[in-house]
Structure formats: C-alpha cells, structure tokens
Structure 1
Amino acid sequence: MRDLLERLPLDPANLEATASAVAAAVDQLTKDANITKLEQHLSGRLKEMLGPRLAIEPALGFASSKPDELIRSVRLFVDTARRRGISETSLGSANVIYLGLLLEALSQQRLDEQFVATLVAVEEPEAHLHVSLQRHLFGYLLRSGTSLILTTHSPHIAAVAPIRSFIVLRATGSGTVGASTAALPVTDEQAQDLERYIDISRAEVLFASAVILVEGLAELYVLPALAAAAEFDLDAYGIVVASAHGTDFKPYRALLGPSGLNTPHVVITDGDATPDQLNRREAGLRRGANLHPDAARRTTLVDAVRQLPPYEAADYHNQRGPLVRELQALGIFVGAQTLETDLCLLFGDEIMQAFEELNDNPGAVEDVHRGVANEQSLSPNLEIRATMLGRIAALGKGRFAQRLAAHISRIDLRTRLCTVLGISDTTQEVDTHALRRLGTESYLLLALNNISLQVRGTPLLPALARDEGTNEPQEADA
C-alpha cells in the first residue's frame, strides 16, 4: 500500500496542509495533563536507566508532522467509518486484500513500463475462504490478464479451471512426477463437456490416486460398499468412483490416460448383452471395443462382437469370454446385462431385503423374488428379468442402490466368496482366476482387484497370515 501511495504520488500541497493539521491535532492532544505527566515520568526513568550521555526526551503523539513521512502512517480500514483495521477482519479477507494490493501494484508497474511481462504465482488462495468466494476469486484471477501459476488443494477452484490448464504433481518412490493436460487428445466440444463435468463433479478425479469410471448413480453407491465388504477403504487410498452419467467414456479415458493426468483408472460398464428395443445386442462389449487404443484391433474387436452367437446359444459364453478378458487387460470391465441383475447370484438375499424395506407390496415383492431366482438359473427368462427391473426402476435405481449398498457393506465378502467358490481355507488369497469363476458379478470384483493392485500393491482379497499364538487370521504384509 505504501508503494502504491508513493507511486501515485499524492498532491504536495494537500500533503503539506494535512501535515500542518496533524501537527495542530497532536499539540492539542499533548495539552492533556495526563499526557504531560506520563511524558515526565517516562523521561525521568530513562535518564536513570541511561545516564546523561544518552539523554532521550520522549514525546507522545499519533503521527509524524513531517509531510514525507505521513504516507507511512496511513492505515487501511475495512469499513467506511474507519473503525475496523486489517487485524480485525478474517484471515481469508486479509489474504485477499493483500493479493488485491499486490495486483494493483503490478498494474501500476506495468503502466510505468517497468515490466516486459508479468508472471503471478499464487499458493493456495483458497485458505480461509468460503467455497463460493474461492470460485469467484479464481475467476477474477483468470480474467486479470497476467500469466498465472496457481497451486491449490481446492476442488472448488479446480472445478472452474480450463481443462487444458492442469498440471498434477504426485509423490513417487523415485521423486515427484508431473502430468499435464495441455495436449489432451480431445476435440474442443469434448473439452467443453469435460469442463462442465469437472465443474459438476467438483473435480474429485483431479486429486484422485486412482479412478473407477462407472455409468451412473447406482454404481456410485454399490462400488464403495462392495469395496468396504472386502475391507478396502477407497477414501483412505484416495480412490474416487466417478460417474460418466452415461456410456461415453472416451473423453474421460483421455483425461485420465497417459496424454492427460496419467491417473490409474478402470472403466465399469453394463454388458447389455440381450437385444434392446432397437434389437441391438452386446452394447457393453461394443462400448469397450471402441475404447481400444489400437485402431486396427478396435475394428477387429467390433467385428468379433457382431459375430457373437445369440445370448441363449450353447457356445455363447465360450466365445464371449475371450473378448471380455481382452478388454479387462486394458482396464475395461464389461458386465453381463445390468448392475442389478449381475448382482443377483452373489447378493440375491441383500437385493430382496433392500427391496422389501422400500416396497412392501406383496405383488412387487414376489416379482423381485422371482427375478432374483431367475437370474440365479442357467437360462434366465427375459420377461421375468424385465418385470424385476421394472419394479426396481419404479422405486428409482439410485434410491434402491443406496439401500442395497447398506446391506452389501456389512457382509463378510471373503467368507461369502469362499462359500460360493467352494474354497475351504478362507485365509488364502482369492485371486483373479478364482474371481473369474463367479460369473456375472465377477467384473465388479475384478475391477476392484485391478485398482487394489495398482494402488495398494496387493489384491482385493490377499492371503491372510495366522497368528501362531491365537490361530487368528492376520493380514499378510504387502
């Protein structure tokens, strides 16, 4: 502030007149008898302390009467009545005021042509600021016209930043590594879509150690619950389950891929194997095939999906399996039909319990019970399936998934899997090969297993060691 005042500068005549007025006011103040008394007492004490060689004659006042020193006495207040100083406002407000003064000083220096260019670096401007003010402040900084480097842990600031402006730094065993979105391989329209997505999702994926991309709200509830049942706390490891709010995963793969943030991630999508209303089959496999990074193989995979036999054919699963596994090797996990039906084999009881808690209509409950049993058979009836899905949709898939997640999170997944798979020793690792034997819901567990290996360095359900003293299972070291 002092630099700004001296740079203007102030009108010399007005400064001289103000100095005279200040001097008169100081004289008036010092005529108070108690002021004089305090000065005398202080003077006497100092003479005794210092002796005659360092004589000091203290005088009380509130400002210098020298015109060129008046500027140094100017204070900044945060109200028009000049009653509240900077020390009486919040730390966040004080930080913003300081930043405003700094930017104003830079502006004046540019006007005086003292700079060829200006680079402003701001560290964590969100400190002590309300969320809406964080976003507003960052918007202002973006419009300020100067080159800007801004470090932040605030997803609210990151949410309104241009999609190609991010640099993400990560600590690794060999030092800090960075990834940039400057050369993100997306069209301008896709970039705009990503910016809107980042804004709506509050930029969680930018700060994630790993990301699980899913289609919608139901998976947002079920995946963390499924991980919790395996004692895998996604939040503790910085893993985010992010909904693409649809089935177009390509822009999100680009954002998280090696040409973008280079964040470990997987894609989970419905299989939609049976014909839809337009008689299209295997929509999930087609989506996965179109995400293949190699164009030639992408075309070959799409053709292979088209040539799959009908869902009810005897050789269907044998032909579909290799395509599913190839996509899984790329981090793309395709289900059989849809989330609710795919969960029936392993979590049929939980599905029925969740539905009954939300709808006690006997007919509706019976339709869901029949639907669960139908999915657990070798050849599901598509009409029974449609009826069950219709009952769940009537409740709201998100609402149902939320209640189902509460049940899934409380089960002992290791014991449940070992029972279904016929594994007698529950302390051994439930590996990828074992998970693939499950059937329809294996893709969800395989996706979590993939993320666990990338982030924790251990499978989803690692082998357990036993404490020799108690014979109780203990987690093995990674």
Structure 2
Amino acid sequence: MYISSLSIRNFRNFKCARFKFNDGINTIIGENGSGKTNLFFAIRILIDDTLPRYIRFNSTDFNRSLGSNWAGHWIIISIVFDELDASEEAQALAVQSSGHMDTNTKGSYAVYFRPKYQFRKELFDYSQTLAKDAAGLKLLLDKISLDNYETVYLSRGSADFCDEATYKQYIGDFETIEFPDPDQKEELIFGTWLPKEINIHNEVSCTFIKALRDVESDLKSYANNPLINLLRGKERTVAVAKQQEIIDSIDSLNEQISSLDEVKKVKKGIDRSLKETVGTTYAPNINLKSELPNEMEKLFQSLKLWVGDPDDEGYEGRLWELSLGGANLIYLSLKLLEYENVKADKIANFLLIEEPEAHIHTHIQKTLFNNLGTNQTQILISTHSTHISSVSKISRVNILCRGKQQAAVFHPSNNLTDIEIGRIERYLDAVRSTLLFAKGILLVEGDAEQILIPEMFQKVFGLSLDEIGLSLVNIGSTGFKNVARLFHTDRIQKNCAIVTDSDLSIVPLADDPDEDSDEEKKCRASQKSGAERKTDLDAFCKGNKYLKPYYATYTFEVDLLMNANSHEYVSCLPKIYKTPGNIATSKARLEDDDVAVAGSEVLRLAEKFGKGWLALLAAEQLVYNTYIPDYILEAIAFSSAHLNPASRAKAVRHRLKSFKGHAKSSDYSAAMSFVTRDKENQELVDDFCKVFPEDQLTQFLAMI
C-alpha cells in the first residue's frame, strides 16, 4: 500500500492543492517558503503516531486567502492509498461505491476540521430562508469561534474537495449562501468512522526525518531507537548453551570486578563514613558490586554503534564524533532496515525526509537518492537541491511554487508520453534542473547567450537574473521542444521564453539560387532552416500561454552588434590581435553601418575564436548604456511577469546612479535633479518612467 495522492484544502499556505505520488521514491521540489514543511505536517497529522491523535487547529492554520473570514470554512486533508491488500485493516480504508465488501485496491483517510453540527445546521437553515443575504450570513458566521469546531477522522470517502464545485456542494457556497443539510450524512462522499478495533497509527509506520534532526538523541532513546528495534527479540534466537556460556562469563566478570582491591577500598570508605555520620546503630550495611547485565535482552540493548571515517581506516569512535550528515545517513539506513525487517507486518511504511541537503554534501545527495529504493517503504523527500532534483524522475516529482497567499502545485510529467519524459530526465542535470525552481525561465541556444544576456541585464539594470527568480538554461542547440513542453497548463504553470535566431541572411540574395557564391549559399541555407524552425516553433507554442518564442532577426551576435553596440566588440580587439593593422581593419568593419559588412566581421571573429570566448571578452566591455536588443528584453519581460515593485525600484536607482556617474550622458542633468527621497517604490518607478520615457528600463517595464 502506498499514498497515490494527497488533497489539501484551506490549510496554511495551501488553499487548494493536489499532490500525486508513486510507490517508492518521490520528490517534492520547492523554493524556501513554498510549503514543503507544511505538506509533511499535513501527512503526519493523518499517519504519524508521534503527533497527538486529535490535532487542534488554530485560526492561523486556515489559508491566508480567507483572511479573517475563515469561520464556516473547513480544513480538509485527505490521503488516497493505492494497492491495498485483502487484509481487514487495509480494507477498512477501501473506498466503496456500493454496499458490497469486495476487495478494493484504493482507499482513503481524511481529517476534517469543521464547525460542529449545531452551527452547520444553522447555516443550512439560514440558506433555506427567502430573506437570506450577505449581511445576515456574516452575523451568523461571526458567532462561530474555534471552540465551535471539531476535528473528525474518516475513512473510505470518495470526494476531492479541491474541486470547487464539490466544495461548494458539500461544504457550502458562501457567495450564493447555499449550505448542505448536515443530517444528510453523505458517507460515500465524506467517509465513515474506522472500526473501533482498527487504529491507523497501529497499522502503518511513519517516520519524519527533519532537516536538522538530533540523531544522537534519537539513537539514545529507547522508544525511537531503530537499532534497539532491530535487536529486540534477537536474544531468543541465540542457542541456549551459548546464552548460558555468556551469562556465566558475565557473572564471573562481575565477581572479578567486585573483588578488586580498589573496589573493596572504596566500599570500606563509604561504610566507615556512614557509621561515623549516623552511628553504628542506624547506619545501613552497604556493598559495592558490579552489575553488568546478565540477561540476554538487556545485553542486546546495551549494544552501541561504533563508527569510523572511511578515510581514517582502523579508527572507530562513538556516533557523536561523526558529522551531522554522517549521523543522519546512519539513522536513515537503520530506519530502512527496521521497516524491512521488523515492521514488515505493517500494511504500509512511510519515510518523510526533509531537505537532506541541509547536512549532506553533493555527491552523497545524488548517491543517496539513487540508492534509496525499497519495496517495503514509500519515501517522500523534500528538497531545494538541484543535485537531488537532477536525478529525480519527473514522473515522481511535485513542484511547489509560492503564490499570493497560496501555494501552487505542478506535476511536470502530466499528460506526457514515456518517451517525452525520458528525454527530459536525460537532459536535466544539476545546472539545467534550476528551471524546476525558477519563477520564470529563459531557454537559449548556446554559450554566447548564456554568458552575455545575464551580464547585460545586470550591467544595464543592476539586477541579476537569479535575484529576480529567472533561470536561464542553455539548450546547446535549437532543440527546445523537449524541455519547453514542461511549461504548460497541464504541467508547470510558469512563463518560459525561448530565445533563438531567425538566421536571416546578412548578405543580399539573388532571386536565382544558382547564382549564389559559396558564402551566399551558406546564408541561404541558414535562412531557409531558420524560417522552417520559426514556423515549427510558432506552431508548437501556439495556444500555450506559458510558452513564447522570441527571435533575433539575424543571429545573437549580429543583432547585438547592430543595436549600436560596436563599442563592446571593438574594445575586445586588442585582446584578439597583436598588430595595430589587424585591429584597425577589424574595427572599421565592425563599425560599418552595413549589416553585410559588420555582421560578417562579428561572425568571422566568433567562428575563428569561438562564440563562447568572444562572449567572455565582450562581457568585460559592457557599459551602463549597452543596448539590449528588443527581442531579448521582450523575452525577459515575458518570463518576469512576477517582478515585484522592490526589484523595479532597485533598477531605477541603479539607472539613476549610472546617469549621475557619466556627466556627458544626455540623461545626466535629469538624473541629478530627480528626487528619490521619501518615495514609495511604485511612485519612484512611475516618476522615472515619466522623466525618462525613452530609457531601456522604461521600455522593459512597459513590456511586463
């Protein structure tokens, strides 16, 4: 049995969230504050016996989108199980569509935090009145406090309360003031009570390994120590003759220790002190004996782990001498072994691991994830590590994204074929998997774009792409589809811009291709493939609001150069050529207004010295007024729809500082007189756009 899905309604940062899981290992990916800890707590409320049996929710546990209007709403957390066996315990969870008790492989278990019957009845009665209105409903809801709520655990329910229509039908529609009759039990929808003899906590095992767990303390605990659980009962399998031999040895050892002169001397000292203190009449008789346990059960419980670093062969020490990460690895291994060997009688075992990257370095993270597989235990790992996400199968990934007062959950493999999933999984590495965490994504063709676009954006606007949550991914070709299909209404709902080239010929082409020179043939072929690629890419992105392509008219290098950026390339020439003549010749060509001349020269340099190397040199020559080509600005703007006022204001301050630092700039005087003090972020941005309507930042902000 394993958890196949989880639905959360109105709990903390989850207004309406659905998670999908598979047996074995599953990954929950998300940035800080996206709700990974809340997700684990929601699961633990239902199946972790270390938490109170009946959780008392607070008003702050309601989703923030409800604000102060939480009264009357329900918190609902529901788990769906799959592959239930035929046992009575598992079938107590089975979802039934009829009264038949045939074996069902799907089951459910849910917790409802809801108003008590009296108040649900009042809401229903009020909804039946003709004079009902919003004001009257508010008066009724204002009477409801947390004391009027109850926590109920039910199994075998079939409803998905993340479905808005279902929630309104069975919980209530607060807008139309329609509430259901609580006398209608709707057991097929909500579920039923578990039989008294069955307790879910006795039937499943759940361990939560938090990010900074005190493993040393857990391994000293009698109740939570997996080592003790693994050893418990093993003493009974030791041969009787062997047991007696060990016990006799310990009895002899205890006698030897007790009879040591040093021990006898201490014993006599204590005895003398007592008699001198209380007198010989009242002083108790004392002895000092060794009490090494001579019972096999206690002997097994006294076994302790000794550990050694693999690089320090021959040395063994106590557990607390290990790093936190090493101790956690040992604890994790013990727990998995305990589940497989000791708790195999449970109908399911669950291991929740929170952010293992908090104390485990990169290589171990990846190895750990690859080797964690077990048939006995379902494992859920939360992470913001790109190393773990890079080896995660996207069919087993849930992506959490922060939103306004609620988290969004995305399933990147939804409605993809196995072939498409496989291609994406092979492509994602620790660098490219950053796109799973980003707020917006920029896919580019090659090294030059990867190097120069982030540098240009930061130099011109004072913001890094990382700072604004934008992930730029170098595809290394024009094969964007494999990765781009992740961004879709069915999967990851984040804006993804594709930046590529149209490859329009930089030299005039005759009508008759037979008249082409070798260079013209090459340009014509590139232009044709560019047009075909554009047609194909446009069709691929059509109707997908999360995906949009942006094209250079020619190529990235040519478009960058022809947007009045000859300075950036000309300044590189002394690092490319040693002779003044070569520098002068190349400079003249780069500064030519004819794209056939300038474009050919920059492409020649890129081909001769490498696009990546030329981009690195050009990046060192960027200035505050380097002009970012429009198609790149538009692509970044599309992927940065989330850009907040604070980031916009920071860019404004950077631009103003840049203007003030260049007295010859045409914007110098306006910048010197621009007032920034005591202005709120949005006011500052609005004023900047009015004073500098032609500036690149103004244009960029208008595109968002």
User: How would you bin the TM-score normalised by the shorter chain?
Assistant: 0.7 to 0.9
Seen in structure 2, the aligned counterparts of structure 1 residues 37 and 462 have a Cα distance that, compared at 3 Å, is same
**Alpha-carbon displacement from aligned partner over 1:225-282 (angstroms, at most 9, x marks no partner):** 1111211122223322111111111122212333223233211112211276363526
1:279 aligned partner: 525
**Alpha-carbon displacement from aligned partner over 1:315-343 (angstroms, at most 9, x marks no partner):** xxxxxxxxxxxx99953211111111111
Seen in structure 2, the aligned counterparts of structure 1 residues 145 and 189 have a Cα distance that, compared at 3 Å, is farther
1:11 aligned partner: 238
After TM superposition, list the pairs within 5 Å mapping 1:57-68 onto structure 2: 59=288, 61=290, 63-68=292-297
1:208 aligned partner: 438
**Alpha-carbon displacement from aligned partner over 1:26-47 (angstroms, at most 9, x marks no partner):** 3323333444445566788899
Identity in percent: 22
Seen in structure 2, the aligned counterparts of structure 1 residues 42 and 259 have a Cα distance that, compared at 3 Å, is farther
User: Aligned match of 1:69 in 298, 320, 341?
Assistant: 298
**83-92 or 219-228, which moves further after superposition?**
83-92
**346-355 or 333-342, which moves further after superposition?**
346-355
Q: Give the letter aligned to residue 394 of structure 2.
A: I
**Alpha-carbon displacement from aligned partner over 1:140-193 (angstroms, at most 9, x marks no partner):** 1136564321111221111111122211112222222211123153x4333223
Structure 2, unaligned runs of 5 or more: 1-226, 506-519, 658-669, 683-704
**165-174 or 362-371, which moves further after superposition?**
362-371
After TM superposition, list the pairs within 5 Å mapping 1:335-414 onto structure 2: 335-344=552-561, 345-362=563-580, 364-374=582-592, 377=593, 379-381=594-596, 385-408=599-622, 411-413=623-625
User: Aligned match of 1:333 in 538, 547, 550?
Assistant: 550
Asked if residue 217 in structure 1 is aligned to residue 447 in structure 2, the reply is yes
User: Aligned match of 1:449 in 637, 642, 649?
Assistant: 637
Q: Give the letter aligned to residue 281 of structure 1.
A: Q
Shift of 1:294: 7.3
**16-25 or 149-158, which moves further after superposition?**
16-25
**Alpha-carbon displacement from aligned partner over 1:1-54 (angstroms, at most 9, x marks no partner):** 1111124454052334323322322332333344444556678889989xx999
1:31 aligned partner: 259
Contact 1:120/1:149 (8 A) holds in 2: yes
In 1, Cα distance between the equivalents of 2:274 and 2:467? 63
Q: Give the letter aligned to residue 241 of structure 1.
A: L
1:477 aligned partner: 681
Shift of 1:101: 0.9
Q: Give the letter aligned to residue 439 of structure 2.
A: S
Asked if residue 191 in structure 1 is aligned to residue 403 in structure 2, the reply is no
Higher helix share: 1
1:290 aligned partner: 536
Contact 1:212/1:266 (8 A) holds in 2: yes
Q: Give the letter aligned to residue 296 of structure 2.
A: P
In 2, Cα distance between the equivalents of 1:54 and 1:140? 64
1:226 aligned partner: 456
In 2, Cα distance between the equivalents of 1:337 and 1:56? 102
Q: Give the letter aligned to residue 302 of structure 2.
A: S
Contact 1:221/1:405 (8 A) holds in 2: yes
1:129 aligned partner: 360
User: Aligned match of 2:489 in 249, 258, 268?
Assistant: 258
Contact 1:167/1:180 (8 A) holds in 2: yes
In 2, Cα distance between the equivalents of 1:2 and 1:56? 37
Contact 1:452/1:459 (8 A) holds in 2: no
Seen in structure 2, the aligned counterparts of structure 1 residues 109 and 93 have a Cα distance that, compared at 3 Å, is same
**27-36 or 211-220, which moves further after superposition?**
27-36
In 2, Cα distance between the equivalents of 1:368 and 1:355? 8
1:236 aligned partner: 467
User: Aligned match of 2:321 in 66, 83, 88?
Assistant: 88
Seen in structure 2, the aligned counterparts of structure 1 residues 333 and 144 have a Cα distance that, compared at 3 Å, is same
User: Aligned match of 1:163 in 377, 391, 394?
Assistant: 394
Q: Give the letter aligned to residue 403 of structure 1.
A: L
Seen in structure 2, the aligned counterparts of structure 1 residues 472 and 142 have a Cα distance that, compared at 3 Å, is farther
Relative contact order higher in (CA < 8 Å, ≥ 6 apart): 2
Contact 1:285/1:334 (8 A) holds in 2: no
Q: Give the letter aligned to residue 499 of structure 2.
A: I
**29-38 or 340-349, which moves further after superposition?**
29-38
Seen in structure 2, the aligned counterparts of structure 1 residues 294 and 331 have a Cα distance that, compared at 3 Å, is closer
Contact 1:184/1:254 (8 A) holds in 2: no
In 2, Cα distance between the equivalents of 1:179 and 1:328? 16
Report the TM-score, using the length of structure 1 for normalisation. 0.74
In 2, Cα distance between the equivalents of 1:256 and 1:222? 24
Shift of 1:73: 0.7
Contact 2:258/2:290 (8 A) holds in 1: yes
Q: Give the letter aligned to residue 139 of structure 1.
A: N
Seen in structure 2, the aligned counterparts of structure 1 residues 76 and 400 have a Cα distance that, compared at 3 Å, is same
Report the TM-score, using the length of structure 2 for normalisation. 0.52
Secondary structure of the corresponding residue to residue 150 of structure 1: strand
**274-283 or 393-402, which moves further after superposition?**
274-283
In 2, Cα distance between the equivalents of 1:201 and 1:237? 17
Shift of 1:75: 0.8
Contact 2:605/2:614 (8 A) holds in 1: no
Seen in structure 2, the aligned counterparts of structure 1 residues 330 and 154 have a Cα distance that, compared at 3 Å, is closer
**Alpha-carbon displacement from aligned partner over 1:195-240 (angstroms, at most 9, x marks no partner):** 1221263521122222211111111111111111211122223322
In 2, Cα distance between the equivalents of 1:105 and 1:246? 48
Contact 1:22/1:65 (8 A) holds in 2: yes
In 2, Cα distance between the equivalents of 1:58 and 1:341? 95
In 1, Cα distance between the equivalents of 2:482 and 2:270? 75
Q: Give the letter aligned to residue 352 of structure 1.
A: V
In 1, Cα distance between the equivalents of 2:428 and 2:264? 67
Secondary structure of the corresponding residue to residue 267 of structure 1: strand
In 1, Cα distance between the equivalents of 2:491 and 2:285? 68
Q: Give the letter aligned to residue 68 of structure 1.
A: E
Contact 1:168/1:180 (8 A) holds in 2: yes
Secondary structure of the corresponding residue to residue 429 of structure 2: helix
**56-65 or 218-227, which moves further after superposition?**
56-65
Seen in structure 2, the aligned counterparts of structure 1 residues 256 and 24 have a Cα distance that, compared at 3 Å, is farther
